[in-house]
Amino acid sequence: MPSILAVSTAAPPHRIPQEAIKREFGRLVAGLPHVERLMPVFDRSGVEARHLIHEPAWYLEERSWDERNREYQVRALELAEAAVRRCLEASGLTASDIDHFYFVTTTGLATPSLDALLAGRLGMKPTIRRYPLFGLGCAAGAGALARATDVLEARPNDVALVVSVEICSLVFSKEARTPTDLVGVALFGDGAAAAVLAGDGTGRRGVRVLGTETRLFADAKHLMGWDFTSDGMRLVLAREIPEVVRDTIAPVARAFTRRFGKDVREFTHHVLHPGGPKVMATYRSAFDLPEEALGIARRCMREFGNLSSAAVLFMLSDLTSSGRPQAGDTGLVLALGPGFGAELLVLEW
């Protein structure tokens, strides 16, 4: 059973109140009734503030997609490096100890992928095995943990690094004036996170990964993703996602947790990707969870917004640094993303 040794995060310096973002976006869509009527989404989002790489005024200047993507390459690398350095220090390891490097992102493009650039900056060994993953979206942080677990089960003397970086704000364009664009502006933030995992043979112990599950629902591929346009990425987010969580994801999660002799509500800790207020309400009703089970997710949403693939890692970092988990506690990690896909893990402290 591989273990998670450490989880660390890095957030940009600009912490912007939700009210300020709502005000600036409201000016942009003034005179568009079909968007203006949805402005209360900002107030119902559960977001109080977010960390962005720039102040709001920066995003309201005319910027091409290639300019925004170049900015992504620079800023994402900086954030990822900060998260990794903190994580390595917390784990007691160095970059040269890493055998497998999983790098996930959804909000920018780079070739060479940023993990190759990061490996050089950190001094990783030339035999490092890299796994750059794009397109798993909000599920990718949990998905990378699962894939690292698979490899470490087969190679128990190895160590793996998982890094997620999302600069969601750079997807924004002044042309983003649809209701779905508004939802994206109301929910998403910027941040990076890293986790170090070790196989049993290393003798290092942390939070054990007892099992993982991946599910792809190919008939629901329309629910979530990006449209790629000449002006960059445009968010695809279907309104029926909460119903799919209730009717499709919940039975899968229950079947998965029964393998460990537990119902979903019986886990000590719940690390559930906070897609938005409706999704969190669906988690609670579908799994019969008490309100406190959503505390980690709501806190992440309140302080950082939806961080896409980095969200579950931010929540794990919050949980492990809080001192709340005790020996023998169990945790369920669940994240959803384009595909439509679900990634689940069961943890034990």
Q: Residue 79: what residue type?
A: L
Enter the tokens of residue 339.
């595909």
Burial class from Cβ neighbours inside 10 Å (0-12, 13-18, 19+) for residue 189 reads buried
Decide if 300 is catalytic: no
Contact 170, 107 (CB under 8 A): yes
Enter the tokens of residue 179.
């209701």
| Of 164, 157, 120, 160, the residue nearest 141 (C-alpha) | 164
Catalytic, out of 87, 138, 168, 300: 138
DSSP string, 62-121: ---HHHHHHHHHHHHHHHHHHHHHHHHHHHT--GGG--EEEEEESS---SS-HHHHHHHH
Strand, coil or helix: 33: helix
Strand, coil or helix: 209: strand
Give the residue numbers marked as catalytic.
Answer: 138
